[in-house]
Structure 1
Amino acid sequence: MTTFEAQDLDPLTVAVLEGGESSERSISLESGAAVRAALAERGHKVIAVDPSEVDLSSFDWSGIDTAFIALHGFFGEDGQVQQILEDAGMPYTGSDPAAARLSFQKSAAKERFFQNYVPTPPYVLIHEGDTANGIMKKARSLGYPLAVKPDSQGSSLGVSVVQSPDELPEALTRCFHLEAFGLLEAGVLGSEWTVGIMDELMLPLIQVVPNRPFFDYQAKYADDTTHYQFEFDIPSDVVNSINQAARNAYDALKLQGVARIDLVLDRFNRPWVLEANSVPGMTSHSLVPKAAARIGISLGELCEQMLKRSLSATPQS
C-alpha cells in the first residue's frame, strides 16, 4: 500500500461543482459545502458552481485553476460533466468520462467485473416495459432473497431487498419511479464493507453495521445508529481478500483519483463487489473522509491531494 504524503499546495482558485438536478442534489450540496470549507481553511479561493443554475458548457473558466467535482448522481457521476470539463480544457478531480460512465451504470460495471474475474453477484437486467410475469420468472431464476436496483442511481436510492415474491411489485415500483432500467441481483447474505481508494493508496477498510435491513439511503445519511468499524475479528487473509477484490474492481473500471468500492462478505468469507462510486460523498456521514481520518488525513489534505492529481493528470481524449 502506498503511503500518503501530505504536501503543501500553492493557493488555487477552485470551482466546486455541487448541487445539480439529480435525485442526490441534497447530498451533493452537503459534500460541496464540506469541501469548500476544508479547502478555504487551507488557503484556497473556492467558488460554488451549481449546474442547475449555470450552463457549464458556456461557463467562463478563465481565472479558475481546477474544478472539484462534488456532483452525485446523474450528470455528475455518469461522465457528462467530465466530458464538458475536458472539452473546456479544465482540469478536474476524479475519473475520466469513460470510467465515470462505466461505473455509474451498474449493469455495464458488472459486465466489466465478469470480464476481469472480479467477484460480483449474478444479475438480470429489467425494464419498466417488461411484463410482470416476465420479471417474476427472472426473479425465480436468481432465487430469493434478491436486490432490486435502478441501473444508474447512487446512495442506494430506489434499492430494495426482496425476501419473497410478494415483496417484488412494491420494489419494482420504487425502482422504476427513478428510471426505466433496473437490476435484479442475487442476494448475498453477509456483512457489508467499503474500501476507499485514491490511485495507489488503499484507505483503511470499513465494516458497515447499519441498524436497518441493509445500508440504505437513511442508514447512509440520516441514521446516527449506523456503526462504522475499523477493527474486526476476521483473519488477515480475509481482510486482504476484501481489499484485493476492491482493488481489482477499481482497476477493471479504470477509475482514477478517489473512488469507493462497496462489497459484501458472505458466510464463507468470500467478498462480492456490489458497486463502485467514482464521486464518493464528502459529507460528515461519508465513508471516504472517515477512512482518511483514521490514518490522520484531514478532509482538507484529502481534497488537496485530489486537486494536485487533477493538475498533473494526463488529459484524456
Structure 2
Amino acid sequence: MTDSQTNPLPPLNIVVLAGGESAEREISLQSGETVSQVLSSRGHQVKTVDPSLVDLDEYDWSNCDVVFIALHGTYGEDGTIQSTLDRLGVPYSGCDAATSKLAFSKSASKERFIQHNVSTPSYVLIHESDNAQRIEQHARSMGYPLVVKPDAQGSSLGVSIVQTPEELPQALARCFHYDSFGILESAIKGTEWTVSVVDGQTLPLIQIQTPHEFFDYEAKYHEDSTQYLFEFELPTNVIQSIIKTGVNACEALGTTGIVRVDLLLDRFQQPWVLEVNTIPGFTDHSLVPKAAAKAGIDFGELCERALAECLTKAAQKPHN
C-alpha cells in the first residue's frame, strides 16, 4: 500500500461494539478496548457497547455517527449484527450482512472460491447428526492426515489435525462442541501466511512461524514464541502469487473494508486459501495492525480508515 497517509476524520460520535456471547468474547473485548482507546486519543467521542449486555433495539442511536464492529465470531462475523444495524439505519465498519455470512461459513466460502478458481483445500461438509461410519468413509476417501473444523467459527477454535483414524472421534467431538456443522479438509503441509487487505489494497505480507502443529488459539493469543516475518527467502513471483491469491479470495467473496486472508504455501510453492476473516483482530499484537505498522500506518489511522470507508458508502446511499 503506497498511500500511507489519509486525511484524519473530523471528530465523530462512535460506538464500538465488543464482547458478545461467542466463544471469542475474550478476544473481542480486547479488540474493542484497544480500538476505543486509540479512537478516543484521536479526538472522537467513543462509547463501547457490549450487545450481550445491551439490547441494541432499545439503545439510543440518535447521537451515533458510525459503529466500529469489533465483535469476533458468531453474531459479529456471521451477518447477524450487520443485519441489525442495517435495520436500525446505523453505518458500520466492515463487510455487509450477506458477505459476512458467506465468509463466516467455511463451506459456503469454499464453494465461492471454487467458482472463482481460487485454490482452496478440498473438503466435505459434515453434520453432528451424520452417521459415524459415513464420516469415517469420507475421511478414508480423502486420506490422512486431514483437518477437522467447525464450519462457522473463528480463532482456530475446535480445529484439529487428524493423523490417524483413531484420532477422528475426538476431533469430531471438539468440532461439534462449537458448531453443529463441520468440515473435513485435506491437510496441506506447508508454511502459513496472511494477507491483509484494506479497501482493496494489500498491506505487507506476513509469514507465521509457530512451534505448535499449526497457528492455533494458543499460538495466536498466548504463545510468545510465535514469529511474524516480513522478510522471506522466496522468489518474487511466489510472493506475488500468495498476495494475488489473497486478493482474489477477497474479490470472490466481495469483501469491503479491512479483511485478513489466511493461506498455506505447499512444497510446490502453490498457495491455498484457508479462510477470509471479515473482522480480524484489532489488538496491538494482531496481524493486521502489525502489517499496517510495517507499511507506516499507525493503529489510529488504520481504525479511521475502517470508518472512513463505511461513512463514504453511507453517504452514497440514496435516502428515502
With structure 2 as the length reference, what TM-score do the two structures score?
A: 0.97
What's the secondary structure of 1:78's corresponding residue?
coil
Please give the per-residue CA displacement for 1:152-181, whole angstroms capped at 9, x wherever unaligned. 000000000111111111100100111110
* 2:43 is aligned with 1:46: no
Letter of the aligned partner of 1:206 in structure 2?
I
Identity %: 56
* 2:272 is aligned with 1:272: yes
- Maintained 8 Å contact 1:3/1:201: no
Alignment partners' CA distance in 2, 1:85 and 1:259: 19
Gaps of 5+ in 2: none
Partner of 2:30: 30
Query: Which runs of structure 2 are paired with 1:103-142 in the superposition (5 Å)?
Result: 103-142=103-142
What's the secondary structure of 1:157's corresponding residue?
coil
Alignment partners' CA distance in 2, 1:84 and 1:4: 33
Alignment partners' CA distance in 2, 1:291 and 1:185: 28
Query: Which runs of structure 2 are paired with 1:1-317 in the superposition (5 Å)?
Result: 3-313=3-313, 314-315=316-317
What's the secondary structure of 1:107's corresponding residue?
helix
Letter of the aligned partner of 2:144 in structure 1?
Y
- Maintained 8 Å contact 2:200/2:256: no
Please give the per-residue CA displacement for 1:174-215, whole angstroms capped at 9, x wherever unaligned. 001111100000000000000100112101000000110000
Alignment partners' CA distance in 2, 1:281 and 1:185: 24
What's the secondary structure of 1:61's corresponding residue?
coil
Alignment partners' CA distance in 2, 1:88 and 1:177: 33
What's the secondary structure of 2:284's corresponding residue?
coil
1:2, distance to aligned residue in structure 2 (A) = 5.5
1:285, distance to aligned residue in structure 2 (A) = 2.6
Alignment partners' CA distance in 1, 2:62 and 2:145: 53
1:315, distance to aligned residue in structure 2 (A) = 4.5
Letter of the aligned partner of 1:182 in structure 2?
G
Please give the per-residue CA displacement for 1:256-297, whole angstroms capped at 9, x wherever unaligned. 000000000000000000000000001133100000011111
Alignment partners' CA distance in 1, 2:192 and 2:317: 35
1:11, distance to aligned residue in structure 2 (A) = 0.7
Alignment partners' CA distance in 2, 1:264 and 1:147: 13
What's the secondary structure of 1:310's corresponding residue?
helix
Cα 1:281–1:316 shift into 2, 3 Å: farther
- Maintained 8 Å contact 1:77/1:104: yes
1:114, distance to aligned residue in structure 2 (A) = 0.3
- Maintained 8 Å contact 1:86/1:315: no
Please give the per-residue CA displacement for 1:119-151, whole angstroms capped at 9, x wherever unaligned. 000000011111211111101111111110000
Gaps of 5+ in 1: none
Alignment partners' CA distance in 1, 2:173 and 2:283: 29
- Maintained 8 Å contact 2:150/2:181: yes
- Maintained 8 Å contact 1:4/1:201: no
Superposition CA RMSD, Å? 1.3
Letter of the aligned partner of 2:230 in structure 1?
F
**What count of residue pairs does the alignment treat as equivalent?**
317
Alignment partners' CA distance in 2, 1:145 and 1:227: 25
- Maintained 8 Å contact 1:2/1:200: no
Alignment partners' CA distance in 1, 2:38 and 2:149: 33
- Maintained 8 Å contact 1:2/1:202: no
What's the secondary structure of 1:4's corresponding residue?
coil
Q: Which runs of 4+ in 1 moved over 4 A?
A: 314-317
What's the secondary structure of 1:43's corresponding residue?
coil
With structure 1 as the length reference, what TM-score do the two structures score?
A: 0.98
Alignment partners' CA distance in 1, 2:2 and 2:156: 30
Letter of the aligned partner of 1:10 in structure 2?
P
Cα 1:150–1:257 shift into 2, 3 Å: same
